[in-house]
Chain A
Amino acid sequence: MVDVTFSVNGKEHSLSVNDNALLSETLRESLNLTGTHIGCDTSQCGSCTVHLDGKAVKACTVLTAQAAGSEVTTIEGIGEPGSLHPMQEAFNEHHALQCGFCTPGMIMAAIGLVNESESLDGDGVRKGLDGNFCRCTGYHNIVKAVLSAQQNM
Chain B
Amino acid sequence: MATETGIGASVRRTEDARFITGTGRYTDDINVPGQTYCVFVRSTHARAKIKSIDTSDALSTPGVVAAFVGADLAKDEIGDLPCGWLVKSKDGSDMIAPPHPPIATERVNYVGEPYALVIGETVQAAKDGAEAIVAEFEIQTPVMDVASATQSEQIHESVPSNRSYDWELGDKAATDAAFEDAAHVTSLDIVNNRLIPNAIEPRAALGSFDAASETYTLHTTSQNPHLERLVLAAFVNIAPEAKLHVVSPDVGGGFGSKIFVYAEETAVIWASAKVGRPVKWTADRVESFLSDAHGRDHVTHAELALSEEGDFLGLRVKTTANMGAYLSTFASSVPTYLYGTLMAGQYKTPAIYVEVQAVFTNTAPVDAYRGAGRPEATYVVERLVETAARELNTDVAELRRRNFINPEDFPYETPVALTYDTGNYAASLDKALEYANYSGFASRKARSEADGKRRGLGFSCYIEACGLAPSQVALSLGAGVGLFESAEVRVDVTGSVTVMTGAHSHGQGHETTFAQLVSDKLGIPFENVSVVHGDTRRSDYGLGTYGSRSIAVGGSAISKATDKIVTKAKKIAAHMLDSEEDQVSFDDGIFTIPDSNESLTFGEVAFSAYVPGNFPLDELEPGLSEKAFYDPANFTYPAGTHICEVEIDSETGTTSIVSFVAVDDFGNVINPMIVEGQVHGGLAQGIGQALLEHGIYDSDGQLVSGSYMDYTMPRADDLPDFVVDTTSTPCTHNPLGVKGCGEAGAIGATAAVMNAITDALGVKDLPMPATSETVWRAIQGG
Contact = CB atoms under 8 A, between A and B. Distances in A.
Instruction: Please determine whether chains A and B interact with each other in the same assembly.
Output: yes
Interface of A: 28, 33-42, 44-45, 47, 74-76, 79-81, 84, 88, 91-93, 95, 97-104, 107, 122-123, 125-127, 129-130, 132-143
Interface in B22-43: 22-26, 28-29
B286 interface: yes
A135 B23 contact: no
B365 interface: no
A41 B285 contact: yes
A47 B200 contact: yes
B131 interface: no
Contacts of B250: 99-100
Interface residues of B, number: 56
A127 B19 CA distance: 24
Contacts of A139: 680, 684, 714-716, 719
Interface stretch (B8-16, B580-588, B632-640, B697-705): B8-16
Contacts of B200: 37, 39, 45, 47, 99, 101-102, 133-135
B620 interface: no
B23 A129 contact: no
A141 B677 contact: yes
B708 A36 contact: no
B20 A137 contact: no
Interface in B687-745: 707-709, 713-717, 719, 721-722, 745
A103 B19 contact: yes
Contacts of B284: 40-41
Interface string B302-320: 0000000000000000000
Interface in B288-302: none
A98 B253 CA distance: 8
B120 to A, nearest CB: 15
Q: Is the interface of B mostly helix, strand, loop or mixed?
A: loop
A81 B677 contact: no
A79 B21 contact: yes
A95 B13 contact: yes
B17 interface: yes
A101 to B, nearest CB: 3
Contacts of B714: 138-139
Contact of B17 (A81, A123, A132): A81
Contacts of A135: 198-200, 253, 255, 681, 684-685, 713
Q: Is the interface of A mostly helix, strand, loop or mixed?
A: loop
A59 B273 CA distance: 35
Contact of A45 (B286, B708, B745): B708
B251 interface: yes
A136 B684 CA distance: 8
A100 B708 contact: no
A37 B255 CA distance: 19
B605 interface: no
A130 B569 CA distance: 54
B722 A41 contact: no
A95 B508 CA distance: 11
A102 B722 CA distance: 21
A17 B715 CA distance: 34
Contact of A99 (B251, B722, B745): B251
A80 B18 CA distance: 9
B683 interface: yes
A126 B674 contact: no
Contacts of B680: 137-141
B18 A93 contact: no
Contacts of A126: 716-717, 719
Contact of A98 (B677, B685, B713): B677
A35 B23 contact: yes
A150 to B, nearest CB: 15
B407 interface: no
B506 interface: yes
B125 to A, nearest CB: 12
A42 B12 contact: no
16 contacts: A34-B29, A35-B22, A37-B200, A76-B22, A79-B21, A91-B16, A95-B12, A95-B676, A97-B20, A100-B19, A100-B24, A101-B252, A102-B252, A133-B715, A135-B198, A135-B713
Nearest to B711: A44
Contact of B709 (A44, A92, A140): A44
